[in-house]
Amino acid sequence: MDAYMPKLGFGAMRLPFNGSESNIDLEHVKRMVDLFLSKGFKYFDTAYVYHNGQSEIALKETLIKRHPRASYWIATKMPMWSVRNVKDLDRIFNEQLKKLGVDYIDYYLLHAMDSGREDTALKVKAYEFGERIKREGKARFVGFSFHDSADVLERILKNHPQMDFVQLQINYLDVKEGSAGKLYDQAIKYNKPIIIMEPVKGGSLAKLDKAAETALKAARPNDSIASWALRYCASLPGVYTTLSGMSNIQQVEDNVKTFENFEPLTEDEQKLIDIVLRAGKGTAVPCTACRYCLEACPQDIAIPDVFTIYNEYMRAGDKEAAVSSYRAISQGHTAENCIACGACMEHCPQGIKIPDALAEAAKIA
């Protein structure tokens, strides 16, 4: 792995767009990219499926065509749910090289590995594929992103020591109240560099209840609420970089401010986060707005948007605002249109029982 890795990575899964997710606002992204690079950061994370397949192309237009190749690192991912045979690996990878406009990928990942996709990876020899593209100079490092139990993670790490790194969903809420701490421990046990995704839990840790925000602002008046979540992750030993899925120039400005002169959390700040969590309500639906569910929904329901509105309602209790936001969703795409087919659940990294949660969210309208 590269000897020096800035602790902040640019996640390209929530880029600004106009109207539809596929219509990325390239001029806005150019400003975001330029600012990020100008502050000394260089890790950009994308994937085959982000923004309905347009994220890699957007990085080609905003980053790769406009900046020297040595000035940035590209990470992208093999969509393991789309792989049926060995030929698919080469076909998709070569398509990614073309979409990005590069000859090699710096950090290449098997995407969203779990027990089922581990079976697929073994069947199609995905790990051997990773070793081959490294030998051929088409990838510098190969790893995997992961969404499953600690036992499954240990099995993969133990059986595939050739993996250079692992990407895990870690944030202070999931560590304190979920299974992220056990995943982190396994990566440390096997001495794997960790790339953190969802440090702000899809934005839900950027806006807390009033008491929690008051306590954090009292401790660091000039810092954003999101910065606490990012600093928590970047302070963990063994963390290589922390990805932030940035949606506008203001988020880039705030994030680079946090990391330019990075200060690890102090012991007192760690204790404050514990106090905030004990006092807070948490997130009603643990959706990170990754949007993987959307491609599977036959009703084309705006699932992440519904959950964002519902969580804000549960946090703030403002029903009038929630109803207004809910009615702004295009007709036919709201929760009551769910037919409870369950197709979305197979794609949800958080394991949310989406039809049940949509049924609850529909009640606010």
* pTM tops 0.85: yes
pLDDT for 283: 61
pLDDT for 315: 66
Instruction: Note the helical H segments in 160-284.
Output: 172-177, 180-189, 210-219, 225-234, 249-260, 267-279
CA atoms within 13 A on the CB side of 350: 23
pLDDT for 4: 78
The tokens 């993670």 sit on which residue? 153
* Three-class SS state of 289: coil
pLDDT for 265: 96
pLDDT for 190: 98
| Domain boundaries of the chain, sorted by first residue | 8-279, 292-362
Q: 3.40.50.10490, 3.40.50.1970, 3.30.470.20, 3.20.20.100: which CATH number matches 8-279? A: 3.20.20.100
Per-10-residue mean pLDDT of the chain, 365 residues long, equals: 88 94 96 97 97 97 98 98 96 98 98 96 98 98 97 98 98 90 97 97 87 93 97 96 97 97 95 83 72 86 86 74 79 86 87 86 79
Query: 231: closest CA among 269, 195, 202, 268?
Result: 269
